Amino acid sequence: MSAKTSSARRVDDVTIRPVEPDRWDDLVEVFGDNGGCEGCWCMYWRVSSGPEYTRIRGSAARAEFSRLVSEGEVPGLLAYREKRPVGWCAVAPRPAYTRLRRSRTLRPAEPDDAGVWAVPCFYIKNEHRRHGVADRLLAAAVRHAERHGAHTLEAYPTDSGHRGYSSGELHMGTVDLFTRHGFTEAERPSPGRVIVRRGLA
């Protein structure tokens, strides 16, 4: 089944849908004027280096991300409550995240394995945080990746038990979030950063 034919998934009062061209305005509404985290537009992991990210952050990142969506790539999922977009989760084949290849701590042993998908970040509108939206998004991301041929789903959450973190520092999710959804720790490159994985059927 192609990503274009993915159907809505409703759990409680949250509906999850894939980001397709006709939902671009909804993604913009979630990210707001700042483009998510300080003009990221979810391009941080898709560029090759820090200097490149610094160069494109803001309007250029928005334009590049918009191009990906308009050309048919489905880079993630949107959460809706009462028909309004309230949250975002990035999920795609791991090779799409170019910067992982150059990361000293997160670089995978087999970076070209398209059967491994990754969930590198979440962005939830302030007033909808701590209300289970991230859980709904992650559950849908597992199903989405599995349906599109992934054999493994990987993520890089923060260990919130290591020290106190601001909400902005938790955009990659927490270990507790992923543990609730069947992920297990694979590596711990630093005390506060963990690589978790879940095998898919």
3-class DSSP assignment, residue 195: strand
pLDDT of amino acid 33: 87
Question: pTM of the predicted model, to two decimals?
Answer: 0.90
Task: Write down all domains in the chain, each with its CATH number in brackets.
Answer: 3-199 (3.40.630.30)
User: H/E/C letters for each residue in 30-48?
Assistant: HHCCCCCCCCCCCCHHHCC
Residues found in the chain: 201
Q: What is the pLDDT of residue 34?
A: 87
pLDDT at site 72: 95
Residue-level pLDDT at 58: 96
Q: What is the pLDDT of residue 106?
A: 93
| Long-range CB contact pairs, 45-50, < 8 A, 24+ | 45/90, 45/97, 45/98, 45/99, 45/100, 45/118, 45/120, 45/121, 46/96, 46/97, 46/98, 46/99, 47/98, 47/99, 48/98, 48/99, 48/101, 48/102, 49/99, 49/102
Q: Please tell me what DSSP assigns to residue 8.
A: P
Question: In this structure, are residues 113 and 151 in contact, taking their beta carbons and an 8 Å threshold?
Answer: no
| 99 closest CA partner among 62, 171, 51, 169 | 51
Q: Is 155 helix (H, G, I), strand (E, B) or coil?
A: strand
Distances (CA, A) of 128 to 163, 173, 198: 23, 15, 26
* Measured distance CA(94)–CA(116) in Å, rounded: 6
Q: Which of 84, 71, 97 is nearest to 17 (CA)?
A: 84
Query: Which stretches of the chain score pLDDT less than 50?
Result: 1-11
Distance of CA 24 to the CA centre of its chain: 16
Q: What is the pLDDT of residue 108?
A: 92
Q: What is the pLDDT of residue 38?
A: 86
Residue 112: the pLDDT is: 92
Distance of alpha carbon 160 from alpha carbon 175, whole angstroms: 7
pLDDT tens digits along 57-85: 999 999 999 999 999 999 999 999 989 99
